[in-house]
Amino acid sequence: MHINRAILEKYFQGDCSEQERLLVEAYLEQTATPELDALLTDTWHVANKPEKKVHRLWWTAAAAAVVAGLIVLAGQNVQHKSAIAATLDTIYNNTNRMQVYNLSDGSQVWLNAHSRLGYSSDYNIHGRDLWLEGEALFKVVSNAKQPFNVHTRFLTTRVLGTTFHISTVSRADSSIQISLLEGKIAVSGTNGYTKVLMPGEMLTSKGEQDPPTTGFDAKEILDWKENRIVFNRTTLADVLIRLQQREGCKITLTDNKLAAKRISGDFSANTPIGEILATLAYVHELKCIRAKDGTYLISSKK
């Protein structure tokens, strides 16, 4: 089934008839929706013409632990700190728990612990652009006249109306994860590529030209929204960086040979970090020591 692009645009603007609405919704249930893919890609390119002025984030390397925390693997710094440009207003979640924010256009953002979201003062007037550092789930109200963009270090995610998750702090290799739960999104890299994601697909990028897409475990990536901490055969390196990000503490893995060890577990988010680490250490034959400066040191028990 194909559809006229003009009807798609009317649908996202809220101007279509009841018959057109039913037609579009039947079309969106298909696996292949080339007209929607083209619309997403085209709106990305139009909104990012050189003459369009947009606020940007400036990213700088961090030399020490910051609010979001760092993880050191075998002495290597794998996290970066970003500073939001002074021209942006910023929402800070400096707590250890998820916070929900309602944006002026009716969209909702679930912002995870120690994360921040920048936006311009003309949000929803001249575009809907956000800059994320950390982790968030977005539920976006449709408005084709005001496309919704989330900017991270080297990726921009563009949507019309959908539900998706982004994390810049969940992987020890500093890659960015973008997971689509509903609708469609177009993810564009600073080096020129654009990929369209379908529901159930996750893009993981370290800035390369053609990043891979895979499936994902929604229970794991959205555990923080449900006040849980869930690991499903997650590498120990990623487990520690996620715990560090959420708890605002510092964790050091002293033996890089353990970084790829697979970990599974399910905890209440209210469980103290020391108890979680002690449980993981007992189950997986690790040693956990808390240094005088508060840093947790993880090594092999053998």
- Domain at 196, CATH number: 2.60.120.1440
Domain membership flag for residue 54: no
39 and 153 belong to one structural domain: no
**What phi-psi label fits residue 132: left (phi over 0), alpha (psi between -120 and 50 degrees) or beta?**
beta
Q: What angle do CA 181, 101, 171 make, to 5 degrees?
A: 50
pLDDT tens figures, 200-233: 999 999 988 889 999 999 999 999 999 999 999 9
Domain membership flag for residue 171: yes
87 and 191 belong to one structural domain: yes
- Name residues whose C-beta falls within 8 Å of residue 196's C-beta, 6 or more positions apart in sequence: 37, 40, 41, 184, 185, 186, 187
Domain membership flag for residue 141: yes
Domain membership flag for residue 66: no
Identify the H or E element spanning 218.
helix 218-221
The range of the structural domain enclosing residue 114 comes to 79-219
Nearest to 118 by CA among 103, 99, 132: 132
Domain membership flag for residue 94: yes
201 and 93 belong to one structural domain: yes
Domain membership flag for residue 70: no
84 and 201 belong to one structural domain: yes
Domain membership flag for residue 257: yes
208 and 100 belong to one structural domain: yes
pLDDT tens figures, 133-166: 999 999 999 887 888 999 999 999 998 779 999 9
112 and 190 belong to one structural domain: yes
22 and 92 belong to one structural domain: no
Q: Distance (Å, rounded) from C-alpha 77 to C-alpha 91?
A: 26
Among 195, 219, 243, identify where a domain stops: 219
Residue 221 and residue 177 in contact, taking contact as beta carbons nearer than 8 Å: yes
pLDDT tens figures, 162-188: 999 999 999 999 999 999 999 989 999
Residue 231 and residue 264 in contact, taking contact as beta carbons nearer than 8 Å: yes
118 and 205 belong to one structural domain: yes
- Name residues whose C-beta falls within 8 Å of residue 42's C-beta, 6 or more positions apart in sequence: none
How many domains are there within the chain?
3
122 and 163 belong to one structural domain: yes
88 and 134 belong to one structural domain: yes
pTM over 0.85, yes/no: no
pLDDT of residue 203: 96
Quick one: pLDDT band at residue 29, thresholds 50, 70, 90? low
pLDDT at 81 over 50: no
Six token digits for residue 242: 């996620």
41 and 147 belong to one structural domain: no
Alpha-carbon distance values, 30 to 23, 27, 35, 156, 184 (Å): 12, 6, 12, 25, 12
Domain membership flag for residue 193: yes
Residue with tokens 């440009």: 85
Six token digits for residue 200: 């159930």
